[in-house]
Every structure is written in C-alpha cells, then in structure tokens.
Structure 1
C-alpha cells in the first residue's frame, strides 16, 4: 500500500471520529451518569426517579442563566452580573406592581398592572446588559471586571429599593400566576417548561444558524472574524442583551413564584452558572463548548450538592466540593483532549 493511501485512510478515520466538542460533551455526560451512580451507592435512597427529576426541576433557574453565560463564554466574554440582575428584576417587578396606598414604604409601589410591571422590570434588566456591552465593546474594559461591577450595582439598587429587606405585600392577585402555573395537568411548573424550551432553541441556534457559528468564530479567532467582515461588536452586544434578558426573566419568575422581591435572591447564581458551563466543557478562553455540555455540567453540580446534603455535610464542604469538581473537570478535559490529539 502506498504512503498516499495510508495517509488517506488516516484522514478518513479522523473524519469519522467525533469532533472535539462532541467528545468532551460525551465525557461530561458519562461523568454525570457515573457520579449519580456513585452518589446512589453512598447516599441512602438517592437512586430514585423522582430524585433525577428534582435534579433538573430544582435547578431550572441556574440552567436558564447558564445558557446566556455559555454563549458569552464561547464568544470569549464573561457575565458575572446575572445574579445581581436576578435580584434587581424581581425587586423591580414587585415594586412596580405594588399598589400605591400601602401602609408603609415597603408595601407601597407604582400600582402598575402585573404584565406592565414585569415588562418594565425586564427593561431594567436589559439596561444592565446594555451597560455591560457598552463597557466591554466600546471602552474595551475586560468583561470579568465590568460584569463583576454591574453585578454589585444591580444588587445595590435592589438593596435600596427594598431597604435591605424585601417587598412582599400589597400585590395584585395575579402576580403569582406565572411562577406557580403548572403544565399539562402535572406538577411541572411553567418555569421548568420554559427552561427546557430554551435549551432546545439554544442548541438549534448553536448548531444550525449563522448566529451560532459566528459566536464560535469570534471566540476562537476574533481577528479572523473581523477580517472576514463580521461585526464582532454588534454580535457581542446582542449576546450581553440576551444574557440580561434571561437573567431578568429568571428574576421575575422567581419573584412571581414566591410573591416577593428579595434583594439577596440570586446570590452566587452567577458563579453557579459559570461553574456549570466550565464543568460542561466550555473553554474559558472562548471558541469551544456547548449548551448540552453545560446542561450535563448542571447535573454534575446538582448531584454533588444533593449528595453532600444527603451526607449531612456542612455548606462549607459543599463549596469545597464545587471547587474540587471544577478543578478536576478542567484538568480532565485538558488531559483527554491532549491524549486524543496525541493518538
């Protein structure tokens, strides 16, 4: 057999292999299953169908945030403001919807109809996304610094509006409808269905649209994308607005579910959203990763947290386990890709 034929067979064999992205996603999915089985051995009554369902339904908020964070990470940018936006949008929705004749400052609001209050709260969330985009795109400030600052800004405004407490009285009767609506005659709530729909749409956009391909191109090589005629700035602006809208929707739905605007709601959600993206194989430098991987990363994090609770570990140990899981995931992904390319 000639050298050219041998080389041709090698190329054909490589083309038939999974892409690096699918390879890492498969590893993450396998790790999630293995971790669940390990937890089932260590934790009594862990191996139950309802527990599997709870791992997803109880984490709908973080998974929804993870979609926007994943797209931004793939583009080479961070968004640590989402937790603050969750708090701000929920507080604004409640404040705008509260009647004007409350007995005190925390029970008095703007008296808007529920739908209008939620729309205005969503606009407030988008304004934080616009600030992120302005500083990152126009002023070229590193995204990790900008979004950390806007996270504190959003949460600070929420603290001011609630006077460091919460607003939970004098609300319209229909304010709690969206957050507590069940679907299809089951106990599954609307936010969980919206999360599932969001994941399907995000996967389609990621894999089948020009927008998704441009996101990967900008993250992998921003200079090449710019030279190819791509408007990098406009694309990143859209991603920041999308992430802010997702965080705003999550905050509004949580406020509706609990019928309250709480300034500390969403605390550390920004870090959980970042963690599940990294666990799912999203490259912190951009250009690599997937929403499906992020979803399995969320299952890994949820399994670790749930197992730690079942083993009666303190919250301090839960944070430690999260950190260890992230370090192991990053090292394992790097090692697996290196071995794959060496082979």
Structure 2
C-alpha cells in the first residue's frame, strides 16, 4: 500500500497540505476572534472553565465529526450518525433490562451489561454496513442513503421505546461508563475517549497510508482506482468506523443518563456536518483536516453558548448556525482562491 502513495504527484501533496495549513490557521483565528467577541458581549464568558466546557460539553458531536470528516474528505456524506446514536443507546438499555419488568417498557432481554454493549455495537455496525452496501455496491448517492438509514435507525429506536424511553429495571453497573470521572477530576470518561480518538485520527490523517488514500479518493476517485486502490473497500471501512463511533457515543450517552431515548442524537448528524464544514473540509471531497474540524466545533460551541448567554431563542440560534456555515464556506473558498492567485 505504501507504494500507492508514491504515485501521488508530490506537487499536489505539497499544495494540498499547504492550503490545509492555511485554512486551519484561518479557522483557529476565527475561533479565537469569536471567543473574544463573545467575551465582550456576554458577562463572565471569558473564563478558563468556560473554555473547558466548550470542549467537554460537545464531546459527542466532536466524536461523530471525526469520521464524518473522513467520509466528507473521501467525497461521501454520513447523515445516519444521529439515528445510530439513538438506536445504539436504546438497544443497550433494552438488552440490559431485566425480563421481569412490570410493563413492556421496563422489560428487556436480561443480557449481562458487557454483552448488551457488544450487541448494541453490532446493531450500529449493521447500519454502517447498510450505508456501504447502498453507496458502494449500488451506487446510490451517499446523502440520500444515509438520510434514509438515519430515519430507519431512529424508527427502530422509536418502535423499541414505543415513542417514549426506557429507563427502569436496569443493572446497577449500567450508569458506570457514562459517569466515570478520570484522574481525580470532574472530566468524564467519554471526554477522555473523545480526545484519544481525536489524537489517533490526526495521526492516521497525517502519518498513515490510510489517511493519504482517503484524500486521494476524494480528490480524484478515477485516478485512485486506476492506481490499484480498492476504493469500494476503503469507503466501506470508513462507514463501518463511523457507525462504530456513533454506536459508542449512543451507548455512553445512554449510560450517562441511564435511559434509552429514541429522540437522543436528534440533529447531531447535522451538527457533525456543520463543524466539518466550519473547519474547512471541502463539501466536494479531497480537502480538509480533522484539526480544522475540531476548531470548527469550537466555533459552533462559541456561537451556541454566546447565543444562550444573550438569551436568544433556539430559533435564532439555528439561524446563527446557518449564517456561520454559509460565511465559513464562502470565506474559505475566497481565501484559497485568492491565495492561489
């Protein structure tokens, strides 16, 4: 596989990496500028704990954004992650609930908790495999496929919860993973796992052949295929990884709140896409970085947090998100075009 990357024109690699660095720097500057602006407009916003909260409170969306970003770089979408979050969380509760509950919503399959987690992850991977089947094998546009599988996953969750939630008759250890704090601090395990996943993703993106191939597939899929890259298998793995991460997020959220809720993860798929676009990842594929996505998440968190501090309604917050994405795409496109001239 390493020989495949040798066929990539070095000038193309240098230009892409150079532009990525430029856009990432631009995203970081915007994130810092927005934070300072929010500090002027919102009382008590300029605090270290608030900076920490911007990351810790958004661990789920950042985790989802990692492989949503990889897929976007490869030229594909994954809008199914929000539905997978709901499905995996509901499945983990249903599988772990004791079968002798007083009613249907308090009765489950009575699996040991580790087995319940494993089976819930298998359910998440099944949605990822479905995405790969329709996108890779049948050639259906990924935005259509993943929108459909998102609704399928959430629909199954709604059937299992009867449109409500399951939160009773659970084993004592069910809430352990989602509420475990690390290193004697208030930082929970899900946040640490998100940071580890982010660091691994950066390493894969920058140093491993897998990351380079992902960029090449997005930049020129035909050339990648002609060079001997198994594009179908690579995209399949990306969808499976994305589904696995979404499943993990759903299980941890279910553990944190000790409930399986069919509406959990609603709009998370769009937030994950938004932070990727805010971070400079090209919607057409072949360009962007996970680091940019991370700071895109910071931008979105600052906008949302500042809007909440200014007591703006959720409707206005949604409009601000839309404006932020539009300005980000226009600014990044203009900046790269001007720089290349």
State the TM-score, normalizing by the size of structure 2: 0.95
What secondary structure is seen at the aligned counterpart in 2 of 1:327? helix
The offset of 1:338, in angstroms, is 1.0
Relative distance call for 1:264 and 1:18 in structure 2 (3 A) is closer
Query: Of the two, which has the highest radius of gyration?
Result: 1
Alpha carbon RMSD of aligned pairs, Å?
1.2
Aligned to 2:126: 127
**Deviation per residue, 1:43-67 (Å, 9 max, x gap):** 1110000000000000000000000
**Deviation per residue, 1:189-243 (Å, 9 max, x gap):** 0000000000000000001000000000000000000000000000000000000
Relative distance call for 1:120 and 1:230 in structure 2 (3 A) is same
Unaligned runs of 5+ in 1: 1-11
Output the CA distance in 2 between the equivalents of 1:232 and 1:17: 20
Aligned to 2:7: none
Relative distance call for 1:17 and 1:315 in structure 2 (3 A) is closer
Output the CA distance in 2 between the equivalents of 1:334 and 1:287: 14
Aligned to 2:177: 178
User: Counterparts of 1:1-343 in structure 2 under 5 Å?
Assistant: 19-342=18-341
Q: Is the CA contact 2:97–2:169 (under 8 Å) kept in the aligned structure 1? A: yes
Output the CA distance in 1 between the equivalents of 2:331 and 2:295: 15
Aligned to 1:9: none
The offset of 1:18, in angstroms, is 6.9
Question: Moved runs in structure 1, 4+ residues, more than 6 A?
Answer: 15-18
The offset of 1:339, in angstroms, is 1.1
**Deviation per residue, 1:296-316 (Å, 9 max, x gap):** 000000000000000000000
Q: Is the CA contact 2:16–2:287 (under 8 Å) kept in the aligned structure 1? A: no
Output the CA distance in 1 between the equivalents of 2:201 and 2:16: 24
Aligned to 2:8: none
What secondary structure is seen at the aligned counterpart in 1 of 2:228? coil
- In the alignment of these two chains, the number of paired residues is 329
What secondary structure is seen at the aligned counterpart in 1 of 2:312? coil
**Deviation per residue, 1:93-120 (Å, 9 max, x gap):** 0000000100000000000011100100
Output the CA distance in 2 between the equivalents of 1:231 and 1:76: 15
State the TM-score, normalizing by the size of structure 1: 0.95
**Deviation per residue, 1:11-61 (Å, 9 max, x gap):** x9xx79970001000000110000000000011110000000000000000
**Deviation per residue, 1:149-181 (Å, 9 max, x gap):** 000000000000000000000000000000000
**Deviation per residue, 1:260-286 (Å, 9 max, x gap):** 000000000000000000000000000
What secondary structure is seen at the aligned counterpart in 1 of 2:124? helix
Unaligned runs of 5+ in 2: 1-10
Relative distance call for 1:18 and 1:231 in structure 2 (3 A) is closer
